[in-house]
Amino acid sequence: IITLDDPHDLRGSMISAINHSDHHRDSVFNGIPPSMVKEFYAACKLWDSLLNDEANILWNKSQPGDILCFNNRRVLHGRSGFELTHGDKRKLIGTYLRWDEIRSMARIKAAAILPEWLI
């Protein structure tokens, strides 16, 4: 779940990546030796308490027409529950973009506007 720059230095190493999804935790759990199960669950409990601490949460109530864009690798995100009332409708559309495509398109557009920048 948490990848360190130096996995041999648990206290001094910087975190290089965090991959978290409760729905996929069982696939992570398959690689844990039985001797570390209790420590794994203790770490999960601590992680969950950090994630759900209001000091670490930013709430945003979207309005019709709002667009929310973020880097899926840099922002831990989720949604709270909701209820439709009075015939309301809800439509949520998600998409994924690859950074190489975004950077390529930006270079193409920049070259069209400023051809002298083309390298």
25-49 per-position pLDDT tens digit: 666 666 778 898 898 888 888 988 9
What is the per-residue pLDDT for 104? 92
Over residues 62-110, the pLDDT tens digits come to 888 898 888 877 788 888 888 888 888 888 888 888 889 988 999 889 8
Residue 105 phi, psi dihedral angles, 5° rounding = -65, -40
Give yes or no for a contact between 17 and 3, defined as CB atoms under 8 angstroms apart: yes
**What's the gap between Cα 43 and its chain centre?**
19
pLDDT value at residue 114:
85
pTM, entire model: 0.58
